[in-house]
Homo-oligomer: A and B are copies of this chain.
Amino acid sequence: MEGDGLCRFGILTASDRASSGDYEDLSGPAIEEFLEDAISSLWETVRIIVPDEKTQIENELRDLVDNKKCSVILTTGGTGPAPRDVSPEATEAICDRILPGFGEQMRNISLKYVPTAILSRQIAGIRGECLIINLPGSPRSIREILDELFSAVPYCVDLIGGPYITTHPEVINSFRPAHARRE
């Protein structure tokens, strides 16, 4: 799997309304569009839509890592302070370790656009060889965050044993220390 350099991205939309069909999922496609614009190495996606139920999100995340062998999972929705928002709790429950810098920087990025970014509880963590990142629900916020944050993702995936991801430098200038660059 790592051999051929193919990276499988899980995209999980947590939304009561999108999962019941009351509402079109716009966030999952926004993430996929970002990947199309940014990634120059081989990739594919597995997309899931689930209601805002902690156990269900946990089960889907475990399946995306352990069975579907995703190297990166981007979740969207369920990161706010409302009682039905449980994506960070589900993520923390199935991760081996948390990377606190992601939550901090995602909030700092969004704070440049809206003061209520402070309310987001989004986190990122590692399960096995997979990096899992919580994104907010709004397609605009998703893009603002990924445009600024994704440059650190390829090197993180290297460090946890995943495939070598490359990006289109005019979209994402991904960074690796000199000793980790392939050419």
Contact = CB atoms under 8 A, between A and B. Distances in A.
Nearest to A158: B82
A120 B97 CA distance: 12
A77 to B, nearest CB: 14
Interface string A133-152: 00000000000000001011
Contacts of A107: 100-101, 104-105
Nearest to A175: B115
Interface in A90-145: 97-105, 107-108, 111, 114-121, 126, 131
Contacts of A3: none
Contacts of A175: 114-116
A159 interface: yes
A155 interface: yes
A159 B99 contact: no
Contacts of A78: none
